[in-house]
Structure 1
Amino acid sequence: MSLVSDLVSTETMKGSFVLIIDDEPDICRLLQMSLVRLGYDVKYVHELRAGLQCIQSEQPDILFLDIHLPDGSGLEAISVFKNKYPALKVITISAYDNGMEKQTALSAGASHFLAKPFSVKNVDELMKDVKS
């Protein structure tokens, strides 16, 4: 990539709206802090139901979706979200970093998989990949 395409790509994503659906407040705050620093508008919720309402009303560009939530399976929700909002980039996050869940998430339409625990550096690298 050239410097010009890097700048255009960065400008395109700046101000993009990111929704995080995760039941762990610390994970939500870490992601929010990392993404805001990169120029994203970020909101988080802790349940699938609240996430679906937010997606319908605010239509985020990027969704960080935990696989295991108190009110349902993030894995099952991926295809629902992608069918209704095909342009939505879904990044699954999970403490269960086994190959099977990762493959299931990617097959269902997730664009990336982020394993917990993760660092700010992991998020930075992931978002560079998401933008390309």
Structure 2
Amino acid sequence: MNKRKVLVIDDEKGIRDLLCDFLDRRGYQVSSAADAREMIIQMNKELPEIVFLDIRLPDIDGLELLKFIKQLDQEIIVIMMSAYATEEIARNSLQWGAFDYIRKPFEFEQVERVLSAVEMTRF
């Protein structure tokens, strides 16, 4: 089986590490970034198929980064994450091309459900 490439972008190291470990144990090829600069470095190496993207990053708004990713490649699946969720942010995320939106703190079962939906609808 070809390992799907996943990029986790979150400035909180603990969340980033937990999510990366969870995805790695499920057979994904995982890389991570703490901010937009690190994301660009990772994406220059290799484009991911799936991105988990935090809304609040230190150097750029996550919604702006979502737009950038979708302009780069419409096929990249972006799953937005935030502890500061509002209906408007969730709606805007989906309007601008996010596949789904996860509120933090999240349960790993929720991540599993989103990944199952990704696999069923996109791959």
> Structure 2-normalised TM-score?
0.92
Q: Which amino acid aligns with 2:117?
A: D
Q: Which amino acid aligns with 1:86?
A: Q
Which whole-Å deviations, capped at 9, do the CAs of 1:20-52 have from their partners, x for residues lacking one? 110001111121122112110111110111102
* 1:107 equivalent in structure 2: 95
* 2:38 equivalent in structure 1: 50
* 2:18 equivalent in structure 1: 30
Distance 2:118 2:22 in 1: 14
Q: Which amino acid aligns with 1:115?
A: R
The one of the two structures with greater contact order (alpha-carbon pairs below 8 A, sep at least 6) is: 1
Distance 2:25 2:43 in 1: 22
1:25-104 to 2 correspondence within 5 Å? 25-104=13-92
Moved over 6 A (4+): none
Unaligned runs of 5+ in 2: none
Give 1:61 shift. Answer: 0.6
Count of aligned pairs between the two proteins? 120
Give 1:56 shift. Answer: 2.5
Q: Which structure has the larger Rg?
A: 1
3-state DSSP of counterpart to 1:29: helix
Q: Report % sequence identity.
A: 35
- Alpha-carbon RMSD across the aligned residues, in angstroms, is 1.2
1:9-28 to 2 correspondence within 5 Å? 11=1, 14-28=2-16
> Structure 1-normalised TM-score?
0.86
Give 1:57 shift. Answer: 2.1
Structure richer in helix, relative to its length: 1
Distance 1:118 1:38 in 2: 17
3-state DSSP of counterpart to 1:19: strand
Give 1:77 shift. Answer: 1.3
Asked whether the 8 Å contact 1:34–1:124 carries over to 2, the reply is: no
Q: Which amino acid aligns with 2:16?
A: C
Give 1:113 shift. Answer: 0.5
